[in-house]
Amino acid sequence: MITVHSLTKKYGGFTAVDDVSFTAHPGRVTGFLGPNGAGKSTTMRIMVGLTDPGSGDARILGHRFADLPDPGREVGVLLDASAQHAGRTGREILTIAARTMGLPRTRVDAMLERVSLTPEEAGRRVRNYSLGMRQRLGIATALLGDPEVLILDEPANGLDPAGIRWMRDLLRGFADDGGTVLLSSHLLHEIEVIADDLVVIGNGRIVAHGTKDELLAGAGTLVRAAHGPTLAAALHADGITATATTGGAVLAEADLAHVGRVAFEAGIPLIELRPADGAGLEEMFLALTAESQRDSAIELEGAVA
Amino acid sequence: MTATTLDAVPAASARTRPTPAPIPFRRVLEVELRKMFDTRSGFWLMASIVIASAIATVVTVTLGDRGSLTFDSFAASVGSPMSIVLPIIGVLAVTSEWSQRTALTTFTLVPGRGRVILAKLVNVLMVGVVSMLIALGVGALGNLVNAAITGDDPVWDIAASTFAQIVLANELGMLLGFALGLLMRSSPAAIVGYFVVNLVLPGLSGALAASQEWWADNAGWFDINQTRFLLFDSTLTGQEWTQLAVTSLIWIGLPFAIGLRLVMRSEVK
């Protein structure tokens, strides 16, 4: 259980985190979603005591992080997989963490196996690791102390699709065992496949939170024709709120049958007609974080994939 | 779009388990010591202590005037590489956490930053004493070998108190490096800083003393090198000990205090 209460962090005149409150529950994977620079990493650094909060507080299992007697045994943290001494081997990095927590050597081997790093790879120095391997090593470090809570910042960065699937299964299993998972991402697709609950942040402020199902409900219909705006106009004419997006796609706030009938009556051939699950979330994400958007194209790849 | 509070979500039964015991300081100490040796650069830095001692001893025996070599000659030649390597060990013990960004992991596993810094400090001082003992041993071996070559009795002319003074001088050098490391939290900056204090300032102080009589008389109260270098080869007077304490406070105590405060409060990224 992670409880964040009215967290605010200012740097000079700039407010990086603005009155952020949310709870990540045991048994659930909570996705922390927002564009780059929205305040996700700052919030996570405050949670684990690496950054002082300006005001408000963050508690993990009811305690401030600094008050945990042996934090690694209760909270697994991965903030930046590249923040490791390039000259240490993967195994040595795990060994150091295991020693700090007073864990037996066998635990290191078990974790290497859990994240599918071979003994040969574990013996290599981290400077020769790909980002994906560093992420796996970081996950291994986080899981080492058999924690109850996981806090992971962009853990899927650098993972290939199989790696993302592996991560999803791993986090699902962790949550199903009663663990609490908080993971951040700036990619919708990534978080959509993994998370149960969503906290969406933009410009340091929470813009939406709820279960994924709630946030996806009412997302409407995605309909695609050769020319999107024409289709959107036809839907508008029938009183349906519709927005043309890219590639002839239109996001319509009506059910499938209604949209299909309008298109048929307008004589517009459809290429695609389906519930707008991911696209709906994407629209929401884009709209909610529009001001803080640096490059909307980045977010598009998530939903298209 | 609906945004309801997450509190409505039924929580799965939380795992109940005992609170882990606090991390004992001994464990932090052991881990920090391991971290000084477990990289190639760290290992060779430590190994360079033994290697430099051995080279200095061999050079002294081969090139020195064997008839007049005493234990003190060996101590002097082994001591000079030591006085360069040891402070760098002091600097890197701290700064590598920031230069390599391992502080992120270190301080999430041990949130009490003061404990980590204390562990590093104890290890650095311990490494200093052990290195000096190794240097002493290598120097003694050189002295014996030299005596065997010349056929004379070896001359043991270093008193325990002299050795203790040399150890103190080197420990102060390490502390200075450590303090600058805390202050700068960057390996190159702190190492350059150390050599400025150690190699550039004496020249400036000397130049100032040549033109300023007041400085010539009172430099000992401000210039850490002047009193620290005395430790290597003379017996200090009561006033000189006081000067050593005062200059150490200014040059080591002050940057240490400021650096520690910065480390405790700064954001780790």
What are A17's strand-pairing partners? A9
**B100 chain-A contacts, CB cut-off 8 A:** 83-87
Lowest mean pLDDT among A44-48, B105-109, B141-145: B141-145
Q: Which residues contact A236 (CB under 8 A, 6 or more apart)?
A: A242
Read off the tokens for B222: 């401000």
> Using one digit for the tens of pLDDT, what is the confidence trace for A245-268?
777 888 888 888 888 999 999 999
Which residues 81-100 in chain B show a CB within 8 A of chain A? 96, 100
Read off the tokens for A5: 């209460």
Average of pLDDT values for B149-173?
Answer: 90
Average of pLDDT values for B42-49?
Answer: 91
Q: Is the pLDDT of residue A175 over 90?
A: yes
Domains present along chain A, CATH in parentheses? 2-209 (3.40.50.300), 221-304 (no CATH)
Interface test with A, best of B5, B9, B45, B95 (most A CBs within 10 A): B9
Q: Of A97, A178, A197, which has the smallest distance from its Cβ to B105's Cβ?
A: A97
pLDDT cut 70: percent of chain B above it: 94
Subunit contact A84:B27, Cβ cutoff 8 A: no
> How high does pLDDT run on average in chain B?
89
What's residue A290's pLDDT? 62
What's residue A110's pLDDT? 97
ipTM of the complex: 0.86
What's residue A303's pLDDT? 40
Average of pLDDT values for B122-148?
Answer: 93
> Using one digit for the tens of pLDDT, what is the confidence trace for B64-96?
888 888 898 888 888 888 888 999 999 999 999
Cα torsion B253, B258, B263, B264: sign: positive
**B102 chain-A contacts, CB cut-off 8 A:** 83-85
Which amino acid appears at position B176 of this protein? L
Q: Which residue, among B58, B68, B61, has the nearest Cα to B157 in the 3D structure?
A: B68
Residue B141 C-beta-side C-alpha neighbours within 13 Å: 14
Q: Which residue, among B254, B201, B256, B191, has the nearest Cα to B227 in the 3D structure?
A: B201
Average of pLDDT values for B40-69?
Answer: 89
Residue A301 C-beta-side C-alpha neighbours within 13 Å: 6
Average of pLDDT values for A58-67?
Answer: 95
**B108 chain-A contacts, CB cut-off 8 A:** 48-50, 71-72, 77, 79
CB atoms within 10 A of CB A187: 18
What are A223's strand-pairing partners? A250, A273
Q: Is the pLDDT of residue B3 over 50?
A: no
**A102 chain-B contacts, CB cut-off 8 A:** 23, 27
Residue A103 C-beta-side C-alpha neighbours within 13 Å: 25
Closest-CA distance, B115 to chain A, in angstroms, reads: 12
Q: Are A201 and A40 in contact (CB under 8 A)?
A: yes
Average of pLDDT values for A289-293?
Answer: 56
pLDDT-based confidence at B114, cuts 50/70/90? very high
Closest-CA distance, B127 to chain A, in angstroms, reads: 19
Strands A55-60 and A2-11: antiparallel
Average of pLDDT values for A169-182?
Answer: 96
Interface A-B: count of C-beta contacts within 8 A:
150
pLDDT-based confidence at A288, cuts 50/70/90? low
pLDDT-based confidence at B104, cuts 50/70/90? very high
Q: What are phi and psi of A238, to 5 degrees?
A: -95, 10
Average of pLDDT values for A215-229?
Answer: 79
